[in-house]
Amino acid sequence: MSDILFWVYLVNSVLLINHEIDSAYWKEWELFKLPGGITGFLMIHIPLIFFVLYGLVLVFQRSPTGLIFSLALSFSGIFAFVAHMYFIKRGRDEFKMPISLFILVSTLVLSLVQAFLTIDLILK
């Protein structure tokens, strides 16, 4: 199960990082009213991407801490989907392109699978 979690984490990371690239295109800092514009947005993502990748290393090493990182990543993916669907339903045009929706829906599916796998490993 740990091997499967590693690959699910890896693919989900790629999707979430691509979502963040898409987020820069859509100026997500304006959507969430974050200060600092693109500079602040990019500065926030330096540690975020570091922790995503560090979590992948920990999952690969089968570290118990990796399971915590895995849960955090899966919850991040679920949050990304829910938050963006909320804004879309409120009439916002961001993230309505087919590729943006594909990334969000795929992230939701993988995040749910990842959460299930992670919780299963925690309970063993």
pLDDT digits (tens, 9 = 90+) for 5-35: 999 999 999 999 999 999 999 999 999 999 9
Q: Which residues contact 68 (CB under 8 A, 6 or more apart)?
A: none
In angstroms, rounded to a whole number, what is the distance separating the alpha carbons of residues 65 and 87?
Answer: 33
pTM (predicted TM-score): 0.94
CA-based diameter of the chain, in Å?
44
Domain map (residue ranges) of the chain: 2-123
Q: What is the pLDDT of residues 64-119, one digit of tens each?
A: 999 999 999 999 999 999 999 999 999 999 999 999 999 999 999 999 999 999 99
In angstroms, rounded to a whole number, what is the distance separating the alpha carbons of residues 23 and 59?
Answer: 26
Residue 3's alpha-carbon distances to 7, 98, 104, 109, in angstroms, are 7, 31, 24, 18
